[in-house]
Amino acid sequence: MLPAAEVLAWAAKVIRDADPTARLVGPNVLNWAHTCEGCPGFTPGRDWTLQMRTAYVARYGTEPPFDVWSLHAYDLDWSALPQGNAARQIEQIQGLRDWLDSLPGLHGRPIWITELGLLWAYPGITWREGRASPVGEYDYERVEAYLRAILGWLSDNAERLVIERWFLWVVSWQRPEPWQTVWTGIRLMDGPAPDAPINRLGRLYQELAGVR
């Protein structure tokens, strides 16, 4: 983990030498304590962050130079489709807040949720030759309930938890990822054309974001 600490120190110096007013946002780990269900899993963001901080403090004698601490929050439960467990994502965000506030040097440090969303909005999945295909119909009701829950919670608690920004992982229209046969996340338009109509999720997003 020491190389990561050294890279961070180097990057912070380069950025601040070029722009002393720049705000450094990191480390953008994926979730806090939860990895995923129904998949091989990965190192929890909490574990990586604790190791990185320990290495940085040991090497430089100070906290990592982030002005804002950040997190990617996703529901990655592949055993309960469609995804959209807002409560679990809230736990991830709260976990980062609690950890920061447990450290005198990081207490009250702002948080950005740099990615927030779900990857699979269908009730089933099938795999063939390394690519996933949806089974069933796109579950608009599930996604709508998820958006109302997670964005509503953020709106209600952002000031108290010092969450300055959140960025929902949505697309107007997107080609599938290499592991997908079709795009299965949150989409806001009914097609790729510039004049494609906004779909029901797009209209809901406008409502929740206060866009007219």
Predicted TM-score (pTM) of this structure:
0.93
Q: Is the previous residue joined to 3 through a cis bond, with omega within 30 degrees of 0?
A: no
Interstrand relation of 131-135 and 111-118 (parallel, antiparallel or unpaired): unpaired
Report the distance separating Cα 13 and Cα 1, nearest Å: 19
- Report pLDDT for 1: 47
Q: Is 117 exposed, middle or buried (0-12, 13-18, 19+ CB in 10 A)?
A: buried
Q: In what order do the strands lie in the sheet with 111-118?
A: 25-30, 68-75, 111-118, 163-168
Per-residue pLDDT at 190: 84
pLDDT at 176: 86
CA separation for the pair 94, 67 (Å, rounded): 18
The reported pLDDT for the residue numbered 211 is: 65
- pLDDT tens track for 180-202: 999 999 988 888 788 889 999 99
The predicted-structure confidence for 39-59, as pLDDT tens digits, reads as follows 888 999 999 999 999 999 999
Q: In whole angstroms, what is the distance from residue 24 CA to residue 14 CA?
A: 11
Taking the domains of the chain in order of start, what are their residue ranges? 2-209
- Which residue stretches of the chain have pLDDT < 50? 1
**Cα-based distances in Å from 8 to 31, 41, 90, 124:** 20, 26, 28, 41
- For residues 57 and 15, the answer to whether their CB atoms sit within 8 Å is no
In sequence order, the β-bridge partners of residue 29 are: 71
